[in-house]
Amino acid sequence: MKILTTSNLKKHFPIRSGVFLQVTGYVKALEKVNFAISEGETIGIVGESGCGKSTLGKTIVKIYEPTDGKITYFDPSGQSHDITKSLPRKVKATFRKDLQMIFQNPFDSLDPRMTVKDIIKEPIDTHRLFDNEKSKDEYIRELLNKVGLDTEYAGRYPHEFSGGQRQRIAIARSISVRPRLLICDEPTSALDVSVQSQIINLLKEIQRETNMAFIFISHNLDVVYHMSDRILVMYLGNIVESAPSTSLFGKPTHPYTKALMSAIPSWNPTKRKLDKVKLEGEPPSPINPPSGCPFHPRCQYRLEICDKIKPEPIEVSEGHFSSCHLYAKQ
Amino acid sequence: MEGTRKRVTESFFKHKLGVFGLVVLAILYLIIIFADFIAPYNYTTTHRNFVYAAPSKIRFRDLEGKWRGPYICEMTKARDPITYEVIFTEDLNTVVPVKFFVRGEEYKFLGIWTTNLHLFGVEESPDKAMLLLFGADRFGRDLFSRIVVGGRVSMTVGLLGTFLSVFIGAIIGSLSGYYGGRIDILIQRFIELLRSFPRIPLWLALAVIVPPNWPSTWVYFGIVTVLSLIGWMGVARVMRGLVLSLKEKEFVLAAKVMGVSDMKIIRKHLIPNTLSYLIVVSTLSIPGMILGESSISFLGLGIKEPMTSWGLLLKQAQSLSELESHPWLMIPGIFIMIAVLSFNFVGDALRDAVDPYRTVEKL
């Protein structure tokens, strides 16, 4: 069952300057993003810093207002709602319960003035899951156990914990209302490698138990591969390649994806990388993106057409889409 | 949190001036709480024989040089036959001993039980001799008693006014910072507009609204309201800045994603996280409030007779000729100074303790 779809989702941030704060330009963070997510599915989103991954996550959960396009939300009964412009009052409660988010920085995502118990209690109280304190306390203890924290920690403050423990608290908080879709915005990038795997395994375990759908945003390809059924590769606000994870890693098609993959450091220094695709320079500014294909200035397979026409997604194999002129059918 | 609290208290007590200010303030507040007990006379009782009497001379040895303990002499009032000036002459043969715990005028201790015990004073009838530490005013009222009781208004107006203005300022400031956009611009321009008016005329204009026939306690609250209606703007500015940086924090975004309402986010996340700054800002804005009340009362639009405040007491010292012949009428000004300085010291120390990076500017 579908939970959320977007069509041609666009987000431009106005740049204001001058005395009267006139709009002098736009940061084009998202351009025509299309995807759909169903229950139990995990979508991974990868890309460099500043490519719009986090903007996509925040636009989906309605922290940002989309500039254009459409977001459709399907409530648990399967009814569809257009939530692009605003959240209708009726849908708001179920939407806010169905979609939860885990943030990148566990040192920033927990209110330093609240105890662990109050932090986890906040969403529970907001959605009035329990009406008596006793069963609420019981449930909070159960949640702490589930994420692998001691129940005695409930009365402590966030600064008493390590990064990994804080991220566990954040996870306990977000799964407390039993959401159908959990958006993980780089949940492991602020953590040690050893802790990263614990958090990833915890998330996978939660998914197995609850059939929760995940949108997993990361710049770490390994982590995304480990987690996802389907991967979207983003570049400068565009999805350049979208494929099932095995297919993407087995046979990457877009030059940018290849470049990203060859950038993964190998644990074996003598082992050769697959294709030597080197990325040169910085990604162009999203304020003034290049014409045609956004990747063409850095692409070594550049064709004549690339700086003129923006490529549409082309299905190169089943369920594997690549926005590149190299695969255009003549 | 515990660690922070410990660090803050430790660094506060390292600040010598701040601790000094705190001690002075504690003494001042003790004095105003037990004002009736400490004041040797009722602050409203007039004494015809002691109009504009100078501070009493406290003597220890009598004419023969014998130790008599602290005492004052009886006074007789006479007029200079040519200038009609009042002249007080001490009758050096009389001895009126100054004692602790003497019986005097009746009052209600802490407003509960009636008693006539005073901390110190003389047992002689106030027709013949009065213990006037700071002299008397034009109705022969004891200035010391009036200062002690007047402190009740002056020292609490700042607290109440600041509380109210911090309350208003915190709410408006966080709304402005949290919603941003048009609301923010509107509120900020409005604050700039209000702030560009000269302060004293604005106070006066607002004080005129307080009806002259109101009882004095109402006038008191009227003054508090007037002061805080102007005082909230500085707080609102600081608060807006803090909220602007806080609202991008992930825990606020997380609360939004959870579906927590805006008002609850402001109440449960934004205000608690700015509380330490708010406390500092309030301590730093109390002196302004005290001075504001003094100014309004000094100009005759604030607290009215027979109630008293330091500003009102200073009003008597408005003309130069008064000051020249009765310089003790300036003493209430010294009390204002002491109170304002102490609050400033405490505020500075608190700011340095809470905020090592000095993000809160002095208002």
Cis ω on the peptide bond leading into residue A158 (within 30° of 0)? Answer: no
A101 touches chain B (CB under 8 A): yes
Is residue A195 in some structural domain? no
Task: With cut-offs at 50, 70 and 90, classify the pLDDT of residue A269.
Answer: low
For residues A158 and A113, the answer to whether their CB atoms sit within 8 Å is no
Task: With cut-offs at 50, 70 and 90, classify the pLDDT of residue A216.
Answer: very high
Print the domain residue range for A322: 255-330
Judge whether residue A213 has pLDDT over 90.
yes
For A302-319, what is each residue's pLDDT tens digit? 888 888 888 888 888 888
Share of chain B above pLDDT 70, in %: 96
Q: Which of residues 140-199 of A touch B (CB under 8 A)?
A: 157, 159, 170, 173-174, 177
Is residue A87 in some structural domain? no
Count of CB atoms situated within 10 Å of the CB of B223: 28
pLDDT of residue B2: 56
Is residue A295 in some structural domain? yes
φ, ψ for residue A76, nearest 5 deg: -55, -25
Burial class (CB in 10 A: 0-12, 13-18, 19+), A174: buried
CB contact under 8 A, B257 and A63: yes
Closest chain B residue to A115 measured between Cα atoms? Answer: B1
3-state SS assignment for residue B154: helix
CB contact under 8 A, A103 and B249: no
pLDDT of residue A165: 92
For residues B205 and B194, the answer to whether their CB atoms sit within 8 Å is no
- Domains of chain B, start order: 2-33+147-354 (1.10.3720.10), 46-140 (no CATH)
pLDDT of residue B3: 61
What's the rounded Cα separation, in Å, for the pair A92 and A112?
A: 27
Across A73-82, A148-157, B63-72, least confident range? B63-72
Share of chain A above pLDDT 70, in %: 95
Residue of A277, A286, A248, A245 whose CA lies nearest to A50: A286
Burial class (CB in 10 A: 0-12, 13-18, 19+), A148: middle
And the tokens for A220? 């770490």
For residues B238 and B360, the answer to whether their CB atoms sit within 8 Å is yes
Burial class (CB in 10 A: 0-12, 13-18, 19+), B270: buried
pLDDT (average), residues A117-131: 90
CB contact under 8 A, A100 and B258: yes
For B308-343, what is each residue's pLDDT tens digit? 888 888 887 777 777 787 888 888 888 889 998 998
Judge whether residue B150 has pLDDT over 80.
yes
Q: Which residue has the tokens 């109390």?
A: B286
For A34-56, what is each residue's pLDDT tens digit? 989 999 899 999 988 888 888 99
Is residue A146 in some structural domain? no
The radius of gyration computed from the CA coordinates of chain A, to the nearest angstrom, equals: 21
Is residue A277 in some structural domain? yes
User: Domains in chain A: how many in total?
Assistant: 1
pLDDT of residue A271: 64
A61 touches chain B (CB under 8 A): yes
What's the rounded Cα separation, in Å, for the pair B244 and A314?
A: 44
DSSP state of B267: I
For residues B67 and B60, the answer to whether their CB atoms sit within 8 Å is yes
Q: Who among A93, A108, A157 is closest to B249 (CB)? A: A108
Triad B128, B134, B139: Cα angle to 5°:
60
Higher pLDDT, A8 or B217: A8
Share of chain B above pLDDT 90, in %: 9
Is residue A243 in some structural domain? no
Task: With cut-offs at 50, 70 and 90, classify the pLDDT of residue B362.
Answer: very low
For B180-229, what is each residue's pLDDT tens digit? 888 899 999 999 988 888 877 877 787 778 777 777 778 888 888 888 88
Higher pLDDT, A265 or A201: A201
Q: Which residues lie closer than 8 Å to A168 by C-beta, 6 or more apart?
A: A147, A148, A149, A199, A202
Triad A290, A296, A297: Cα angle to 5°:
75
3-state SS assignment for residue B96: strand
What's the rounded Cα separation, in Å, for the pair A87 and A60?
A: 12
For B131-147, what is each residue's pLDDT tens digit? 778 888 878 788 888 88
What's the rounded Cα separation, in Å, for the pair A250 and B24?
A: 77
What's the rounded Cα separation, in Å, for the pair A232 and A213?
A: 15
How many Cα atoms sit within 13 Å of B164 on the Cβ side? Answer: 18
Is residue A169 in some structural domain? no
pLDDT of residue B67: 81
Long-range contacts of B204-209 (CB under 8 A, 24+ apart): B204/B296, B204/B299, B204/B301, B206/B230, B207/B296, B207/B301, B207/B302, B208/B301
SS (H, E, C) chain A: CEEEEEEEEEEEEEEEECCCCEEEEEEEEEEEEEEEEECCCEEEEECCCCCCHHHHHHHHCCCCCCCEEEEEEECCCCCEEECCCCCCHHHHHHHHHHEEEECCCCCCCCCCCCCHHHHHHHHHHHCCCCCCHHHHHHHHHHHHHHCCCCHHHHHCCHHHCCHHHHHHHHHHHHHCCCCCEEEEECCCCCCCHHHHHHHHHHHHHHHHHHCCEEEEECCCHHHHHHHCCEEEEEECCEEEEEEEHHHHHHCCCCHHHHHHHHCCCCCCCCCCCCCCCCCCCCCCCCCCCCCCCCCHHHCCCCCCHHHCCCCCCEEEECCEEECCHHHCCC
pLDDT (average), residues B273-292: 83
B250 touches chain A (CB under 8 A): yes
B363 touches chain A (CB under 8 A): no
- What is the pLDDT of chain B when averaged over all its residues? 82
Q: Which residue has the tokens 């800002």?
A: B281
Residue of B132, B158, B125, B162 whose CA lies nearest to B147: B132
pLDDT (average), residues A136-156: 90
Q: How far is B194 from chain A (nearest CA, A)?
A: 20
Burial class (CB in 10 A: 0-12, 13-18, 19+), A232: buried
What type of residue is B351? R
For A66-82, what is each residue's pLDDT tens digit? 999 999 999 888 888 88
Give, for B121, the enclosing helix (H) or strand (E): strand B113-122
pLDDT of residue B331: 87
Q: Who among A58, A97, A113 is closest to B272 (CB)? A: A113
pLDDT (average), residues B87-116: 79
Chosen from A113, A125, A127, A167 to mutate, greatest number of chain B CBs within 10 A? A113
What's the rounded Cα separation, in Å, for the pair A73 and B63?
A: 101
Residues of B in contact with A63 (CB under 8 A): 253, 256-257
Task: With cut-offs at 50, 70 and 90, classify the pLDDT of residue B363.
Answer: very low
CB contact under 8 A, B257 and A110: no
Judge whether residue A198 has pLDDT over 50.
yes
φ, ψ for residue B317, nearest 5 deg: -95, 25
Residue of B173, B134, B121 whose CA lies nearest to B56: B134
What's the rounded Cα separation, in Å, for the pair B310 and B31?
A: 14
And the tokens for A16? 């204001």
CB contact under 8 A, A170 and B254: yes
Is residue A20 in some structural domain? no
Q: How far is B259 from chain A (nearest CA, A)?
A: 5
